[in-house]
Amino acid sequence: MPHKAPVENLPLTAAHWGVYRAEVNEGKLRALHPFERDPNPSLIANGYIGVLDDELRIDAPMVRKSWLENGPGSATDKRGVDPFVQVTWDEAETLVANELNRVKASFGNEAIYGGSYGWSGAGRFHHAQSQLHRFLNCIGGYTRSVNTYSLAAGEVILSHILGDPASFIHNPPSWQSVVENGELLVAFGGMPLRNSQISSGGTGAHRARSALSDAKKKGMSFVNISPMRSDVAADLNADWIAARPGSDVALMLAIAHEFLSNNWHDRSFLDRYTTGFETFARYVIGQVDGIVKSAAWAADIANVPAQTIKDLASRMATSRTLISVSWSLTRQEHGEQPFWMATTLAAMLGQIGLPGAGIAFGYCAANSIGMERQPIKFASFQQGKNPVTTFIPVARISDMLLNPGSTFRFNGQTLTYPDIKLVYWAGGNPFHHHQDLTKLERAWQKPDTIIAHEWCWNALAKRSDIVLPCTTQLERRDLMMTPRDPYIVSMEEVVPPHAEARDDYEIFTGISRKLGVDTSFTEGRSSDDWLRWLYEESRQKADSCGVILPDHATFTEKGWHYIDPGTPSSGALEAFRKDPRVARLETQSGRIEICCAQIADSRQDNILPHPAWYAPEEWLGNATGKHRLHLISGQPADKLHSQLDHGPESQVKKVNGRAVAGLNPVDAETMGVCDGVLLRVYNERGACLVSARLDPSLMQGCIAISTGAWLDAARQEDGTLICQNGNPNTLTRDQGTSDLAQGPAAHSCLVSIEKLTVSFGQSKAYLPPVIQRA
């Protein structure tokens, strides 16, 4: 028997879902053991077992056959169908370099779309998107994207009403401040612990679960306003208000109306710290549109008893209250309004900036939300300057590809879509993340060339012209270093790169050599040089704020270092509360903008200058037509988006080999559906196949299909796509939240279901494409 090393001596690695020690035997990854200091580790890492060298691993550079034989723009309708031809790295680099040169020369850098949205791997250096952006900047720039799929509407509205969105999203009252001072936490969209497994860039300590139970032990109470009871952990005993999805703003307005009518609002806070409250109040009492936003009015919209709303308002007015709004509320039609309205409610309560009170955006949307912020600003790998000015709001990709030259509104401006000839993607999966995949598939045929770096044959890789095989985060050294985690970790290369796979950095170095820009891309540094540089620069920055980090050799030898997170914080608005003149907000007025002049100025966008209720086009409130079920396509518990869907952790959670769809048992009975039955979920945009699961924690009228199942698309008779593997984005709508943010609105979606008795066989999602080897 070989001697087994103690787990604490195994090499460390990190992912967005945590830090692990890797057990490797005969060159194969056998297990990822949770970091011994993580109080609540995530099982998502188990998804890696067996997939680093399976048949879905991309082992060499590949080119789509028609593209290779007939050149750019050839048979673009065969993307996803054509076989691939294996080429050498040298051939691949030349093809990419020549094509970039051709597009630049004929159409300009604007014709290159490098938005490349996506999460890729953890690690401060090998971040695919940053690598791509730096590379494209070295060759003259690219059309970029702005904001996120996570909460674009939130980012835009917060920039108007609070100023710098990042600081308000990422710095709510910290967990410690909540535990020590909290009384009542009202969570719109809940605080699902499943989502707090993730933290962008990695985490050494999952804290959300223990923070919430500590708060509970100290006497805090919780209200969960959500279509899912399970969106707040069962042991917190939250009161559940199952409001119709999309109705939250109406509910909040009715709470505001209660505050106003009972004189529970804090006038002096509103006077000192906000602008435009009077105009908003006139809207609430019906002086703007003749509608009083009373509890009775909201009761009809939200399908919640008026008395429940009144009771909640009174509880909020008589407690130290913290309001949390989930990011999911921004991913729906008029997704700008919930953050705006919730901030207004918190301002009316006058507790913003107090310990454990006020407003927070998305506790548990990621483990980092609620973590104390490090005093250090870590160094990062610079992306350089992009001389091209064209951009799109990230979720407008299909519209951009389909409608070059046409105009659209965004945040008070009129912009024009560029004519994209080349799409370059590294570290994201648009056939996971984008809405209305039938439309995306059509848009995807427009560019001449699509280049992707991927490590596995997912839907993006299969639909690209040139596929360059990259390493996974387990196959390279890196540095886990994020602003809201107390651990920094030296990530080791726990297994060697598979076959011909290369790091993104190495791939770009090779191409930049062909293009003659390698000196500016690498600055003469290897990956290891950069890692040392990033560490040493960060160490100096730490030093200047009084934090001592060990030298590089000591750090890499031990593998991790703990930085004391410091004192609890009441959040980014604490200083503003202390002195609103000194800590002026970066808004036009310097205060919280309940009424916003900038938004009022862009009148053509049909948005009132204060938070307001707009009935969505697709929601249960008008589900009187064909489709009667509201689709919730939230985050998957067993993976991060589409990553590792082919791995064992995700696969064992499938039922009869398919993604599951949650249904309320009462609805299921009405429709004659029992557990495990095969369903076709459909609407005008497309369809997907799923296995039914009865879930009493889901409100009636909803169906819940987590995102992340790899696309296995076939055409239906009407030309729309059906995903045999349960990808809900075949159903969702590709529609901007509003002209203000143009964010994704996946959560506004109605569907129908039918039971299927025919058998559909194995999904093709997990089969590699046909490959012609040299």
Ligand X SMILES: Nc1nc2c(c(=O)[nH]1)N[C@H]1C(S)=C(S)[C@@H](COP(=O)(O)OP(=O)(O)OC[C@H]3O[C@@H](n4cnc5c(=O)[nH]c(N)nc54)[C@H](O)[C@@H]3O)O[C@H]1N2
Cβ pair 78, 64 in contact under 8 A: yes
Using the rule CB under 6 A, is 152 a contact of ligand X? Answer: no
149 binds ligand X (CB under 6 A): yes
Query: Judged by CB under 6 A, which stretch of 292-300, 344-352, 449-457, 672-680 contacts ligand X?
Result: 449-457
Contact letters for Mo ion, residues 91-130 (x by CB under 5 A): ----------------------------------------
560 is catalytic: no
The verdict on 394 binding ligand X (CB under 6 A) reads no
By C-alpha distance, which of 49, 38, 4 is closest to 487?
38
Site string for ligand X, 462-491 (x = CB under 6 A): --------x-xx------------------
693 residue type, one letter: R
- Cβ proximity to Mo ion, 151 vs 212, nearer residue: 151
Q: Measure the CA–CA gap between 327 and 248, rounded to whole angstroms.
A: 13
118, HSE (Cβ side, Cα atoms, 13 Å): 29
Terminal-to-terminal C-alpha distance of the chain? 42
Amino acid at site 493 = E
Report what 245 binds from Mo ion, ligand X, none; CB cut-off 5-8 Å by kind: ligand X
Q: Beta-carbon neighbour count of residue 106 at 10 Å?
A: 10
117 is catalytic: yes
Beta carbons within 8 Å of 751's beta carbon, 6+ residues apart: 627, 629, 630, 631, 681, 682, 683, 703, 731
Minimum CB separation of residue 619 from ligand X in Å reads 8
Query: Nearest-CB residue to ligand X?
Result: 634
Q: Which of 17, 20, 113, 119 is catalytic?
A: 119
Contact string 256-285 vs ligand X (x = CB under 6 A): ------------------------------
Region binding ligand X by CB under 6 A among candidate stretches 224-232, 374-382, 538-546, 587-595: 224-232
- Selected from 66, 294, 458, 752, the binder of ligand X by CB under 6 A is 458
72 vs 728, beta carbon nearer ligand X: 728
**Residue 627 backbone phi and psi in degrees, to 5:** -105, 125
The CA distances from residue 56 to 26, 60, 63, 457, 767, in Å, are: 21, 12, 16, 5, 7
Q: Is 737 in the site for ligand X (CB under 6 A)?
A: no
Catalytic residue among 20, 48, 113, 117: 117
Q: Which amino acid is at 395?
A: A
Under rule CB under 6 A, residue 335 binds ligand X = no
Distances (CA, A) of 77 to 70, 434, 561: 14, 19, 51
Kind and range of the H or E element at 63?
Answer: strand 62-64
Place of tokens 């056998």: 30
Please report, as residue ranges, which positions from 484 to 543 form the binding site for ligand X (by CB under 6 A): 504
Nearer to Mo ion, 150 or 199 (CB): 150
> CA angle, corner 660, sides to 657 and 666, nearest 5?
135
What single letter denotes the amino acid at residue 633? S
Residue appearing with tokens 């952990």: 233
751 neighbors 629 (Cβ within 8 angstroms): yes
Report the residue from 728, 736, 743, 769 that binds ligand X according to the rule CB under 6 A.
728
DSSP lists the bridge partners of residue 681 as 688, 753
Q: Does 198 bind ligand X (CB under 6 A)?
A: yes
- Choose between 240 and 259: whose C-beta lies nearer to ligand X: 240
Which residue spans within 189-283 are E strands per DSSP? 221-225, 239-241, 274-275
The listed partner (Mo ion, ligand X, none) that binds 332, CB under 5 to 8 Å by sort, is ligand X
Give me the DSSP letters along 337-383: HHHHHHHHHHHHHT-TTSTT-EEEE-BTTBTTTTSPPPS--------
Q: Please, what is the minimum distance in Å from the beta carbon of residue 683 to ligand X?
A: 13
For residues 41 to 80, the per-residue mask of contacts with ligand X, x marking binding by CB under 6 A and - elsewhere, is ----------------------------------------
Choose one: 114-122, 340-348, 377-385, 537-545; the region binding ligand X (CB under 6 A).
114-122
Q: Are strands 221-225 and 239-241 parallel, antiparallel or unpaired?
A: parallel
At 541, which amino acid appears? K
Q: Is residue 707 a contact point for ligand X (CB under 6 A)?
A: yes
> Which amino acid would we find at residue 641?
H
Task: Tell me the per-residue interface mask from 61 to 80 with Mo ion, x by CB under 5 A, - otherwise.
Answer: --------------------
Kindly tell me which of 150 and 522 has the beta carbon lying closer to Mo ion.
150
41 binds, among Mo ion, ligand X, none (CB under 5 to 8 A by kind): none
In this structure, how many other beta carbons lie within 10 angstroms of the beta carbon of residue 597? 14
CA R_g for the chain: 26
| 132-151 positions binding Mo ion, by CB under 5 A | 150
| Active-site residue set | 117, 119
Binding site for ligand X (CB under 6 A): 117-121, 126, 128, 149-150, 188-190, 192, 194-195, 197-198, 225-228, 231, 245-246, 248, 326-329, 331-332, 362, 365-366, 426-429, 432-433, 453-456, 458, 470, 472-473, 504, 632-637, 640-643, 707, 728-729, 732, 746-747
Binding site for Mo ion (CB under 5 A): 150
